[in-house]
Structure 1
Amino acid sequence: MTLLTLKKTIFFTGATGYIGGSVLWRLLNYKNANNFRIKALVRDSVKARRFKDEFGIDTVVGNLTELSKLQRLAAEADYVITTANIVDFSATKAILKGMKERNRATGKIPVLIQTSGTAVLDDDAAGMFTGEKVYDDMKIEEIEALPSSQLHRAVDSAIVSADKEGFVKTYIVFPSTVYGIAKNGFTEAGLQNPISIQVPQIIRAGLDRGQGGMVGLGKNMWPNVHIDDQADLYMTLFDRISNGYEDIPHGREGMYFAETGEHKLYDVYKRVAEVLVSFGKGKSCDPTIFTQEECLKYFGDGPDFYGSNSRCTASRSRSIGWLPSRSAADFMASIKPEVEALLAREWKN
């Protein structure tokens, strides 16, 4: 028997993404990395080859619409970590089907670490009020009470049901507003997107309209977490699971929020407007309200997402040893570097 056959296989999706690449980099540099074989699904054939040639990561060229390929790759894996297109129900079903095949063939229970998001908690505030409800990842009954129409909920429920069936152990990670410019070997090589989504979208909107804007009155609140702390949560989970810790909750109790503080959206809009003025890209330090047409243009869903409240406490995540090092103050301090990065990358002229 060769050494390779003794290694556990990790099937990974989202290698080139902001969160995914940051997690994959940590897996590559994990203290027990030699015990694992990583196989990543990558859409771009050139990037797939570079992951292999430059970093020794096995890659398969493909995407999440290739369901038979997803099923096969999941059936070959001891661990599946998903960080891409996390609301794709068909892809989730294919992965779970493959993991069930593995369980039947080997008698062993594979592990799924799935990415969701705290958008599952959002409301319809439209920026007009601060939500009072703060969810706690220790209070599972509150999460279960969320309507099935909430973003992520259908996929999350299917994953919990699979764990209950017994052929897989599932753990769901809920990123919130992830911020900070990712910096690692993959970003330096141009293989990973280093920029987040939420705050950069607000910045791009302000740059395009020449003035910082806001959804409604910006009274809604969201949690935040730095990209490095976010990636560390995945690794805290993986380290304990792969080392046989039996007390790490999974399935129904395997819900792990990621937050290190929260912010009122008005404060973000205000800071973006101020920074744009300092770079000569905005007219006023006071944000103006986005019209409905602007919301659709810049955010695609009107005020629904950027105007919503999503409030939570990551009690369970901290209980397993996650030790984030940033705070809400770090989040606000990150806005100017984000503007600078976008100006350098996308508004060079």
Structure 2
Amino acid sequence: MSTSEKTHIFITGVTGYIGGTVLSALLSHPSVKSFRIIVLTRSPEKVVPLNSLGVVAVVGSNQDLEKLTEYARKSDVVFACADSDDLQAAKAILLGLKKRHDETGKVPILIHTSGTGVLADNAAGDYATDKVYSDLDIPLIETLPKTQPHREVDIEVVAADEKGYVRTYIVLPSTIYGIANTSLVKLGIQNPYSKQIPNLIKASIDRKQGGVVGKGLNLWPNVHISDTASLYITIFDAAIRGPGEAGHGREGFYFGENGEHRVGRISEVIAELLFEVKLGKSAEPTVFTEDELQKYFGGPGLGSNSRARADRSKLIGWKPVHTVDSLWASLKPEIEAIAEIQNK
């Protein structure tokens, strides 16, 4: 197959937790021989190992707006897996995709990363909300103000689809858990850890005691990292088959969740496990002070509610295999790995 006949794919955030796992999934895709994959990395030393995987690595970041535009212009599909709140980067990618449409008449595809943080409230851990969002309930999603996390960029992405030059699909993972185990991790070029739970573990180890936000009553959905990657692939496969295969644009929101947890329960389990290995003073978590919330998390966001149902995601064929039981099982390995890193 000639290069011109292949599906040209461009991926940002490729050495990150999500992006690296998505790339790994693409590399094991049944149609991988028909792909030409270009990836962006900030680190020149990662170019050679990335190239060894059969992709073309170029040095750059979300700040290199001209590069984002140029590589998007050359692409049939863009996976945006870097900073979900970077409006200028999103605009640069969309500009490139518009140029591709103007030059070829084809409608390229953007699979953009957002997150269920867009649903977050100000509960500060003190209550659970009854408000649950479905990714099929577009009018409810559209009530979210632009000031919500990720929302401003999501609105820009949807607006581009409405203009007709690109088909956009927005992936909104929830609390992602599990240590990534990919070919990129084995090469030492991908971050294998998520943010929310590892940050809670790091804070608890640092203060020598498991911590909880407020009363710990707030609720969040969760999804395993490998199921997250399979959601991207499910959307990609549907999008490649044609515009009628999966909702896009206004109807292109896809929640990543397969279970729900009380955030305070994670704090409780972390406190118990840290106490067992003598890294915590008590098996009961203590409440983070306002200063600690600012120091460790940049604010009280960990105490928010974010309740979501992945109805659209499952409707198009996504079949996550890890349930909330996998979340609880993942905590001990996460603690052991992070404690080892912090001890170094």
1:125 and 2:123 aligned: yes
Instruction: From 291, 307, 321, give the equivalent of 1:325.
Output: 321
1:274-285 → structure 2 map (5 Å cutoff): 274-285=272-283
1:223-262 pair list within 5 angstroms = 223-244=221-242, 246-262=244-260
Percent identical residues: 49
Give distance in 1, aligned partners of 2:54 and 2:30. 16
For residue 164 of structure 1, what is the aligned residue in structure 2?
Answer: 162
Q: Deviations over 1:298-336 (max 9, x none)?
A: 111x21x10100001000000000000111111111111
Structure 1 gaps of 5+ residues are none
Q: Deviations over 1:55-101 (max 9, x none)?
A: 12101100111111111111111100011011000000111011100
The aligned counterpart of 2:35 is 36
Partner residue of 1:312?
308
Q: Which runs of 4+ in 1 moved over 6 A?
A: none
Distance in 1 (CA, whole Å) between partners of 2:171 and 2:54 is: 27
Matches within 5 A, 1:1-349: 3-52=2-51, 54-244=52-242, 246-300=244-298, 302-303=299-300, 305-348=301-344
Partner SS, residue 332 of structure 2: helix
Distance 1:316 1:256 in 2: 6
Q: CA deviation at 1:243?
A: 3.0
Instruction: Return the offset for 1:263.
Output: 0.5
Residue 240 of structure 1 aligns with an amino acid whose one-letter code is A
Q: Deviations over 1:200-253 (max 9, x none)?
A: 000001100000001111111100000011100001111222233622111100
Count of residue pairs the alignment pairs up: 344
1:8 and 1:328 mapped to 2: Cα distance? 36
- State how far apart, in whole Å, the 1-side matches of 2:318 and 2:278 are: 41
Q: Distance in 2 between the 1:332 and 1:29 partners?
A: 28
Instruction: Check whether the contact 2:238–2:245 (CA below 8 A) recurs between aligned residues.
Output: no
Secondary structure of 2:304's partner?
A: coil
CA–CA distance in structure 1, aligned partners of residues 143 and 106 of structure 2:
32
3-state DSSP of counterpart to 1:55: coil
Unmatched 5+ stretches in structure 2: none
Taking only aligned residues, the RMSD between alpha carbons, in angstroms, comes to 1.0
Q: CA deviation at 1:346?
A: 2.5
Report Cα offsets for 1:9-28 as digits up to 9, x if no partner: 10100110001100000111
> TM-score, normalization: structure 2?
0.98
TM-score, structure 1 normalization: 0.97
